[in-house]
Amino acid sequence: MEPYVKLVITPLIDIINRPNTPKTLLENTAITIGRIGLVCAQEVAPLLQQFIRQWCTSLRNIRDNEEKDSAFRGVCLMISANPGGVVQDFIFFCDAVASWVHPKQDLKEMFYKILHGFKNQVGDENWEKFSDQFPQPLRERLAVNYGV
């Protein structure tokens, strides 16, 4: 897949950021980007900032399933490779993580590492300020499920 990443990722990013894109196309595009990240995280990670917000909002409302699982695994690998690419839109990532009802244990651990890594990076005081922006249900869900 690696030789083809640059050929396909740019059009996918264009689609996910296009206004008035049909919901199903957004979801399928987000899943595709995530799956490409699953196998080529290093190649896609530098582009994270170009799509992460729309990616998160596209997948937050779909039910837990294998497609969502593989897409989120890919995004987690991309975030691990380029944590700075998600900083500006981290609240959207938090919201997307909180959309999971029953993530598999290893995926839940990936979420835990990213959330706690971010919290440790900014420090407890800054995390408090940051998480105070969250709607109450999101704050509660992250606290209960991930201890942040």
Q: Which two tokens stand for residue 90?
A: 């981290």
The DSSP letter of residue 46 is G
Query: Left, alpha or beta for 20 (phi > 0: left; psi -120 to 50: alpha)?
Result: left
pTM of the shown model: 0.95
Contact 79, 48 (CB under 8 A): yes
Cα 24 to Cα 31: distance, rounded to the nearest angstrom: 11
Query: How do residues 79-129 score in pLDDT, each as one tens digit?
Result: 999 999 999 999 999 999 999 999 999 999 999 999 999 999 999 999 999
* Averaged pLDDT score across all residues of the chain: 96
Cα 48 to Cα 75: distance, rounded to the nearest angstrom: 9
